[in-house]
Amino acid sequence: MSIFFRRLPKFNYVKPEKFSDALDILRENKDGRFRVYAGGTDVIPKIKERVMPAPETLVDLKGISQLNYISHDEANGLRIGALASIHDVSQAPVVREKYPMLAQAAASIASTQVQNRGTIAGNICNAVPSADSAPALLCLGGKALCEGKEGERMIDLEEFFLGPGSTVLGDDELLKEIQIPSAKGKGVYIKLSPRSRMDLAVVGVAVFADVEDGIFKDVRIGLGAVAPTPMRAKTSENRLTGESVGDQVIEEAAAMAAEEAKPIDDHRASAKYRRMMVEVLVKRAIGQIISH
Amino acid sequence: MEDYSVIGKRIPRIDGLAKVTGEAKYAADYEMPGMLWCKIARSPHAHAKILNIDTSRAESLPGVKKVLTGKDFKGWKWGWMPKTREEEPLAAETVRYLGEAVAAVAAIDEDTAEEAAQLIEVEYEELPGVFDPEEAMKEGAPQLYGHAKNNISWDFHMDFGDVEKGFKEADLVHEDRFETGRVITGYLEPPAAVAMYDSSGITIWAAKQSPYFVYRHLAACFGLPLSKVRVIQPFIGGGFGGTKNDSLAGDFCSVLFSKLLGKPVKFVYTMEEVLMTCRRRHNMIVFNKMGMKKDGTITGMHSRVIADGGAHTAIGPLTMYLTGCMSTLPYKLPNFKHDAYRIYTNNPIGAAMRGHGVTHTRFAAELQMEMMAEELGIDPVAVRLKNAISAPYETINKVTVKSCGLVEGIETIADNPVWKNRKEKKQEGPIAHGVGMSATSYLGGARQRGHQSCAAVIRLCEDGSVDYLTGASDCGQGSDTVLVQMVAEELGLAMEDVDIKRVDTAMTPCDAGSYGSRVTVLAGEAARKAAQDVKQQLAVFAAEKWEAKPEDILFKDRQVSVKGQPEKTMPFEQLAKIACYSGSGAVILGRGYSDYGIDVLDFEKGIGNCGTSYSFTSQLTEVDVDLETGFLKCTDMLIAHDCGVPLNPINVEAQNQGAAMQGMGQAMYEAFKMDHGKTLNPTLLDYKMPLATDIPNIEVVDIITEDPDGPYGAKEASEGAIVSVPPSIFTAVHDATGIWFKEQPLTPEKIAMALREKKKNG
Amino acid sequence: MEMKTIKFVINGVKQELRIPPWRTLLEVIREDLKLTGAKEGCGQGECGSCTVIMGGKSVNSCLVPAMEADGQEITTIEGLKNGEELHPIQEAFVEHAGMQCGFCTPGMIMSAKHLLDHNSDPTLEEIQEGVSGNFCRCTGYTKIFESIDAAAKSMKGGR
């Protein structure tokens, strides 16, 4: 039967106040018995729609107030706690100053109401291919500090995503913190979506580059919504690294990025168009960086 | 124009206070003690036979009171016309679209009702479906109904003059295919109702923009006299035609549950349910053929329209009628032939939406006219002025226009600096700027078959305030405010002296509803007449007191006086007391009903006036097109709108701005993506209605004409603007890109692909 | 499953409720507290009709588990009036035709309030951004922008 649900299914709710308590709850977690959430802007609608099975218990992480932080120092770079909201990340002076691409990407997510509730960690853990923060974080060399019953581990975000909605995080694991090393260079995130707000990226392109004396020193290209997971376009990056800035090499690299993308046809756009747009946007993003 | 006290003024909405405080109650805000909740279970198949329904698991869930299936309605069906009664409250034997209602649960709360609905087990035998109207018309296509050969749900054929002769006289003849897109009204309030069936009959608080439709449907379905059906209207969270002009599975099921269980029953649909299963605008394919002379004169037009009607006929015959009968406006058309086919498919049902029917064929004709003018080297303004009608005018199918601001509207656009300077090509980087225009017409005071008049009753209170009862529905358009303005103006009262109650079919006079831009024109006429009736009754008392003639008694600024004798004056309140206390006490009750335009309408041949009067909208639109990504941004609109006399200019502006945005959504953003009858994007995230950040600067200019068949000279406002928006955006995009696009919506992908193709072909 | 107790302050009034843990904040506000100003449009956090302010932030109350309200301060559209006196934003919406059907209005006004609470002098672009999480299908938004602009001016003492 086709039923359109207005109500949430039945579940219990707990709100641990300590990180260790949350880990204890998750120790025996499997088959989605416990479902953790921070902002809930993704999990709640999915549970309501019955796209995600109802958990026995919903675990609200917002009680663990020590996870709500954005901190920075030159040695370690930026650290974003699991509970830092999208809004806070987009507005934090340190993010705007040192990682403007991430602020840009965060500000492009959904709406004010969603940004007030949702978290960057959640945007990553949901692992939708179009997650706006992902291409930027990939470019910035972001890492996820996770902890489960086996202890802590650091996962490179490039290794984090497995497919749409799927990550390497175990049922017992939590993402504690996103770390972004300091790096020299400029970054740009360009999101292509029909509406300017409350919309998903048809294609999202993040480019981070360090250009010195007219030479591309360090180039990183992150792509969203053009593969089962957010991805880096490494062939394209390699084509540019070490080269002198010039139209032809940029064009070639942009074409390579389009080649590397693995988009699909869906109701939002065709694969062909997405590929075309990767080329256009990579070129545009690099253009914006070098014209700066 | 006369010097009015409240007419023509920028008067704030009378429901504003209730709406900004959260006080205004909508259907879903109502609840009653002991109330049960109804949930609808729907078909997961687009076309299937129902073999068996097992409700036992659902019924045994604690809290469940009853489960209904199609059989419980004993074969009762409804439809817009006697011969189109084909829709069942719950499908009994066959489902014809995905999401068609097949069963319903009543339970003590909504959680239980939803849980139980999942437990209903239906055995289906899937049938081959047909989803494309052109395919559905072919021999051998799956048939939705035995009686409808080639799946033709309705067809119209109109033939005026000699269209072949017209094409022979032309220097250029074009044939093009246009497509208008799958869009929906997009109101934010999902349908809801609370229904009660008791010894007094049916009482239902339902979100309906035409409450007297559901009133008749419920009376027929439950075999009750109309006097036993009471539809009470809450505030309505937007209508725009279609779903809220009709009845729903939820309405019938709630009432039947209430009848069987003796409790009030409530249902609320979800937005996804609305986007997936409710009525939407017909997608139409328009094959248009037009002939034009070298000087731009249109010599003839033949339109062949194929509409995706979906699974039932609903109001479709009227839609198809409007695609043709309005094609002869706003340009002179000496020869016209129209063949319209509404085709059944296993898609959700096509029905009315703001700009009903007219938007489809006008989009095609307006673009084609400009395409041909371009080929002939004629300026867009010149070709329009060459063919524009002016009042008085009778079209070849006997549509009579008594007031017309078309030429003035087109000239307003032509005189605008943006239009004058449009040849200076503006391109910055990949962004090309384009300027386009359109000029269109829409009917106001729609007429259809059957009861179509509006009525008003005004009861005078002894303190000089009045109660105004109307069956007309304000579903957001502001009609309550404008109607009260009319009553106040006639009686010489202030806005706050006049109280309007929302529709209650047990109290208010019957009315056809809010569609076809009929409320201001027809309910307005009724309101005015009722107020005049009150005035006449009161004037007798004043005349007697002052020994004057009743026709010399004047009502203005809460005072009553005798013409030419300023010393004879008294407050309205005093006269009210004199009248109400006369003899042993009197009742002053004014009544009025509309009778504009009751001339003959030949619905079969497309002859005569489908409206009381006609609005004319000329529009200038500016766009930015990203030539690399195809992204389109509409930056500015100028709408020169002839609504006769704007009775409340701020509301006319607001209506036009809203229509402009809705038209822009249809032209650029919105479209249902379908896969074998399944809607792939039934969410507001993916069905892309415009947001605050997508809105152009929208300027509205009133072109004032006074129509003799409208209260205070008024005509319709804003259905015209939804018709003018898409062609003006498309001509602007052509200006920016050199490409004539012919299908809505104009998505970035379509633009980017076409630009690439153009580049490839040099 | 057991009922749980939550305590919070809504529109300045202390509340203590026993609720099942799967209730949303919107359901509790509308059904338990009978404050039906906040509306459910989509129930999926897309339309903004259910916007309320919780802990100083605008949220889609249809996506907030009501359990989270515990210990919070919440303002709904019903909490804006000061006695019989309208809030300047409400006043501006009436005067400048900032609403038509009115269904989006409570959420729209709460988003406007959130905006003006953080930015007393917004530009047109900031106003557009500020309400970009709220759909309106009637007005074409133009009169909403004008209303918010007028409210901002009136709140600063101007007109």
- What's the pLDDT tens digit per position in B671-716? 999 999 999 999 999 999 999 999 999 999 999 999 999 999 999 9
Inter-chain CB proximity B753 and A199 less than 8 Å: no
What does pLDDT average to over chain B? 96
- What H or E segment, with its residue span, contains residue C83? none
Joined together, the tokens standing for residue A150 give: 């086996």
User: pLDDT-derived band of residue B8, with 50, 70 and 90 as boundaries?
Assistant: very high
Inter-chain CB proximity B42 and A198 less than 8 Å: no
In the prediction, which pLDDT does C158 show?
56
CA distance A196 to chain C (A): 9
- What's the pLDDT tens digit per position in A156-184? 999 999 999 999 999 999 999 999 999 88
Across the beta sheet with B565-571, the strand order is B553-556, B559-562, B565-571
Stretch B375-393: mean pLDDT: 98
CA distance B736 to B431: 9
- Upstream peptide bond of B392 is cis (omega within 30 degrees of 0): yes
- The reply to whether A267 falls in a domain is yes
Q: Does A15 touch chain C (CB under 8 A)?
A: yes
Q: Which residue of B has its CA nearest to C95?
A: B12
Q: Based on the domain organization, do A51 and A71 belong to the same domain? A: no
Instruction: Tell me which residue range forms the domain holding A209.
Output: 186-290
CA distance A74 to chain C (A): 31
Which ranges constitute the DSSP H helices of C9-123? 25-27, 88-95, 105-118
Q: Which amino acid is at B56?
A: S
Contacts of A6 in chain B (CB under 8 A): 110, 114, 268, 270
CA distance A271 to A268: 10
Q: Which residue of A has its CA nearest to B756?
A: A276
Quote the DSSP letter at residue C39.
Answer: -
CATH code, B280-447+601-760:
3.30.365.10
Q: Return phi, psi of residue C16, to 5°.
A: -135, 120
In the prediction, which pLDDT does B737 show?
96
Inter-chain CB proximity A11 and C64 less than 8 Å: no
**In this structure, what CATH number is given to the domain that contains residue A36?**
3.30.43.10
Q: Based on the domain organization, do A175 and A190 belong to the same domain? A: no
- Please say whether the beta carbons of C89 and C116 come within 8 A: yes
Q: Is the pLDDT of residue B596 over 90?
A: no
Joined together, the tokens standing for residue B564 give: 């030419």
Instruction: Tell me which residue range forms the domain holding C149.
Output: 88-155
Contacts of C132 in chain B (CB under 8 A): 691-693
Exposure on the CB side of residue A101, measured as CA atoms within 13 A: 31
What is the 3 state secondary structure string of B210-256?
Answer: CHHHHHHHHHHHHCCCHHHEEEECCECCCCCCHHHHCCCHHHHHHHH
Q: Is the pLDDT of residue B426 over 60?
A: yes
- What H or E segment, with its residue span, contains residue C5? strand C4-10
What does pLDDT average to over chain C? 96
In the prediction, which pLDDT does B603 show?
86
Q: Based on the domain organization, do A199 and A105 belong to the same domain? A: no
Q: Based on the domain organization, do A115 and A38 belong to the same domain? A: no
- What's the pLDDT tens digit per position in A232-290? 999 999 999 999 999 999 999 999 999 999 999 999 999 999 999 999 999 999 999 99
Inter-chain CB proximity A113 and C64 less than 8 Å: no
Task: Return the number of other C-beta atoms located less than 10 Å from residue B693's C-beta.
Answer: 17
Q: Which residue of C has its CA nearest to A109?
A: C133
Q: Based on the domain organization, do A74 and A103 belong to the same domain? A: yes
Angle at alpha carbon of residue A4, lines to A3 and A7, rounded to 5°: 110
CA distance A35 to A55: 6
Contacts of A116 in chain C (CB under 8 A): 57-59
B456 closest CA partner among B445, B467, B440:
B467
Inter-chain CB proximity C132 and B236 less than 8 Å: no
Kindly state the percentage of chain A with pLDDT values over 70: 100
In the prediction, which pLDDT does B156 show?
94
In the prediction, which pLDDT does B100 show?
98
Q: Based on the domain organization, do C67 and C11 belong to the same domain? A: yes
**In this structure, what CATH number is given to the domain that contains residue C137?**
1.10.150.120
Burial of B549 (0-12, 13-18, 19+ CB in 10 A): exposed
Stretch C104-121: mean pLDDT: 98
Which of C77, C106, C138 is at the close of a domain?
C77
The ipTM is 0.98
- Nearest-by-Cβ selection for A2 from B42, B688, B747: B42
User: pLDDT-derived band of residue A196, with 50, 70 and 90 as boundaries?
Assistant: confident
Which of C52, C77, C102 is at the close of a domain?
C77
Q: Based on the domain organization, do C17 and C49 belong to the same domain? A: yes
**Residue B358, helix vs strand vs coil:** helix
CA distance C132 to chain A (A): 6
Which of C49, C77, C105 is at the close of a domain?
C77
Q: Based on the domain organization, do C107 and C142 belong to the same domain? A: yes
**In this structure, what CATH number is given to the domain that contains residue A135?**
3.30.465.10
CA distance A56 to chain C (A): 10
Sign of the CA dihedral with B197 first, then B198, B202, and B203 last: negative
Q: Based on the domain organization, do A198 and A171 belong to the same domain? A: no
Contacts of C105 in chain B (CB under 8 A): 19-20
Chain C residues 135-154 with CB within 8 Å of chain B: 135-145
Q: Based on the domain organization, do A103 and A141 belong to the same domain? A: yes
In the prediction, which pLDDT does B1 show?
57
Q: Using a CB cutoff of 8 Å and minimum separation of 24, what contacts does A286-290 make?
A: A286/A207, A286/A209, A286/A240, A286/A250, A286/A253, A286/A254, A287/A250, A288/A188, A289/A186, A289/A187, A289/A188, A289/A207, A289/A209, A289/A211, A290/A209, A290/A211, A290/A245
Q: Does A6 touch chain C (CB under 8 A)?
A: yes
CATH of B27-127+192-270, one of 3.20.20.80, 3.40.630.30, 1.20.120.420, 3.90.1170.50: 3.90.1170.50
- What H or E segment, with its residue span, contains residue C154? helix C142-155
- What's the pLDDT tens digit per position in C5-59? 999 999 999 999 999 999 999 999 999 999 999 999 999 999 999 999 999 999 9
- Please say whether the beta carbons of B653 and C138 come within 8 A: no
Q: Are strands C73-75 and C4-10 parallel, antiparallel or unpaired?
A: parallel
Q: Based on the domain organization, do C95 and C126 belong to the same domain? A: yes
User: pLDDT-derived band of residue B508, with 50, 70 and 90 as boundaries?
Assistant: very high
Which range has the worst mean pLDDT, B61-70, B128-137, B452-461, C24-33? Answer: B452-461
Stretch B449-458: mean pLDDT: 84
Q: How many Cβ pairs closer than 8 A exist between chain A and B?
A: 85
Q: Based on the domain organization, do C16 and C72 belong to the same domain? A: yes
The contact set of C with A (CB < 8 A) is 1-2, 4, 20-24, 27, 40, 43-46, 48, 51, 57-60, 63-65, 67-68, 111, 114, 129-130, 132-134
Q: Does C70 touch chain B (CB under 8 A)?
A: no
Q: Based on the domain organization, do A44 and A138 belong to the same domain? A: no
- The reply to whether C112 falls in a domain is yes
Stretch B340-366: mean pLDDT: 98
Report how many domains make up chain C: 2
Inter-chain CB proximity B657 and C131 less than 8 Å: no
- What's the pLDDT tens digit per position in A35-77? 999 999 999 999 999 999 999 999 999 999 999 999 999 998 9
- The reply to whether A165 falls in a domain is yes
- The reply to whether C82 falls in a domain is no
In the prediction, which pLDDT does C13 show?
98
Q: Is the pLDDT of residue B425 over 90?
A: no
Q: Based on the domain organization, do C21 and C55 belong to the same domain? A: yes
Joined together, the tokens standing for residue A214 give: 């007219």
Chain A residues 33-92 with CB within 8 Å of chain C: 40-41, 44-45, 48-49, 58, 60, 62, 87
Q: Tell how far CA B451 is from the center of its chain.
A: 18
Q: Based on the domain organization, do A156 and A120 belong to the same domain? A: yes
- The reply to whether A6 falls in a domain is no
- Nearest-by-Cβ selection for B114 from A7, A196, A202: A7
Class of domain B451-593: alpha beta
CA distance B353 to chain A (A): 23
Q: Using a CB cutoff of 8 Å and minimum separation of 24, what contacts does B538-547 make?
A: B538/B460, B538/B575, B538/B576, B538/B579, B538/B588, B541/B575, B541/B578, B541/B579, B541/B582, B542/B570, B542/B575, B542/B578, B545/B578
- The reply to whether C83 falls in a domain is no
Q: Based on the domain organization, do C67 and C9 belong to the same domain? A: yes
Q: Is the pLDDT of residue B597 over 70?
A: no
Report how many domains make up chain A: 3
Inter-chain CB proximity B673 and A281 less than 8 Å: no
Which ranges constitute the DSSP H helices of B376-506? 380-387, 406-415, 417-420, 479-491
In the prediction, which pLDDT does B450 show?
67
Inter-chain CB proximity B270 and A4 less than 8 Å: yes
Q: Which runs of E-coded beta strand occur in chain A? A: 12-14, 34-37, 57-60, 70-73, 77-81, 143-148, 151-156, 161-163, 166-167, 174-180, 186-192, 203-212, 215-224, 231-232
Q: Is the pLDDT of residue C159 over 60?
A: no
CA distance B290 to B464: 60
CA distance B447 to B518: 8
Q: Which residue of B has its CA nearest to C145?
A: B692
Q: Which residue of A has its CA nearest to C3?
A: A12
- Nearest-by-Cβ selection for B270 from A5, A270, A272: A5
- Please say whether the beta carbons of A205 and A224 come within 8 A: yes
- What's the pLDDT tens digit per position in B105-161? 999 999 999 999 999 999 999 999 999 999 999 999 999 999 999 999 999 999 999
CA distance C1 to chain A (A): 7
User: pLDDT-derived band of residue C1, with 50, 70 and 90 as boundaries?
Assistant: low
Quote the DSSP letter at residue C85.
Answer: B
Q: Based on the domain organization, do A74 and A174 belong to the same domain? A: yes
For chain B, give every domain's residue range: 27-127+192-270, 280-447+601-760, 451-593
B16 closest CA partner among C138, C89, C149, C100:
C100
CA distances from B239 to B352, B356, B515 (A): 11, 13, 9
CA distance C133 to chain A (A): 5
| CATH topology agreement for domains B280-447+601-760 and B451-593 | yes
Q: Based on the domain organization, do C16 and C57 belong to the same domain? A: yes
Q: Based on the domain organization, do C118 and C56 belong to the same domain? A: no
- Residue to mutate among A7, A112, A117, with most C CBs inside 10 A, is A112
Q: Based on the domain organization, do A215 and A275 belong to the same domain? A: yes
- The reply to whether A4 falls in a domain is no
